[in-house]
Amino acid sequence: MTTDTATAGPGSGAANPSGVIHDIGYRTYDGERIGRLGIVRALYWHSLRSAWGLGRGSKAKIVPFLALVIMCLPAVANAFSVSRTGIRAIAYDEYMFSFQLVLVLYLAAVTPELISRDLRNRTLPLYFSRQLRRTDYPLAKVSALITAMLGLTAIPELLLYIGTIGSRHGASEVWHETRAFFPGLLLAVVYSVSFAILATLLACYTGRRAFATGAVAVFFFGTWVVSSALVHLTGFRPHYHHGPDGTGYFVKPGDPGIGPKISGLLNPANMIEGMKEWIVGRAPENSEIPYPGGFGAVNLAVLVGLCALALFLLMRRYQKASLL
């Protein structure tokens, strides 16, 4: 109900003989409040949808779903090849390294949308004016990006696995395929977590989308080029082996020395692959990077330390009052 009450003001003149007060019936909210955890869940869900362009225009969906199609097509083709010829073109634990460029392009396009937009539009004070803590915001964003990356990395692995076991006969063959699948799935998780944390840190220092996109792309692709070049320049390159019948073939060195192993630490993907080679124990001649041996523990320690440092710097970034 609305009531109008006319009252004469002390400064009223001939032109404005009275003032009107409108009772528009404002009421306090007495319902259930979702609280801090509810806000975090809502922010996480909104960020996850944004990472795939859901709830936005058609242009926002092009890069995420195109990246997913590019990642899935080789898995489907490989599963078909295994069912027809029995030949596997790519192993589960090699899939992410072979298509890391797609992962980088996805991160370069999506991460600024999740992180830089709020900085550019100055909407962070609206988030922090509620029960949301300064650390809740980056954790929700990182968690959403990790989940989105898992969709991009785990779905192709699952398609490859499902398509492959369809052509297997007997429980022993299915079990053998399953044992090969789980290391690849675990590697997809490692790629998703480490890449998402590093990309979020790179994007949180600027509100300009172009700068954030460039920072993510240059870091991942640039360090891969430098690291891979140094790996080969410091000794990890094939040499020609002469056979007794006059023929020959190229082989990679079994122990190239410490130079190539240290060079692999300059890029997250090469670091992850070095860690994988150490855990899986793959033969050096079948590896794209030097077999690390005991140095694989260093790859693992550096990767964990790098991600922990990136997460710490990300938390510190959102503790600054200058963001408000």
Q: How many secondary structure helices (H) and strands (E) does the chain include?
A: 12, 4
DSSP 132: -
- Taking only the tens place, the pLDDT of each residue in 112-142 is 999 988 888 888 888 887 778 888 999 999 9
* Under-70 pLDDT residues of the chain: 1-19, 23, 25, 29, 31, 237-256, 281-288, 321-324
Q: State the pLDDT at residue 287.
A: 60
Cβ-contact 279, 299 below 8 angstroms: no
pLDDT value of position 28 = 73
CB 17 within 8 A of CB 8: yes
- Evaluate whether 216 touches 199 at the Cβ level (below 8 Å): yes
pLDDT of residue 12: 46
Q: 309 is written with which tokens?
A: 């440092």
Q: What is the pLDDT of residue 324?
A: 57
CB 42, CB 144: distance < 8 Å: no
pLDDT for res 322: 64
d(CA 308, CA 61): 31
Question: pTM for the full model?
Answer: 0.83
Distance CA 203, CA 187 (A): 24
Residue 320: per-residue pLDDT = 78
Between CA 255 and CA 275 the distance in angstroms is 16
Q: Mean pLDDT over all residues of the chain?
A: 83
pLDDT digits over 81-91, tens only?
887 877 778 88
Q: Residue 67: what pLDDT?
A: 96
Q: What is the pLDDT of residue 319?
A: 86
Give the CA distances from residue 324 to residues 111, 113, 139, 216, 320, in Å, rounded to whole numbers and listed in that order.
Answer: 21, 19, 18, 24, 8
- pLDDT for position 242: 54
- The pLDDT value recorded for residue 8 is 45
For residue 217, CA distances in Å to 63, 114, 208, 221, 222 come to 14, 16, 14, 6, 8
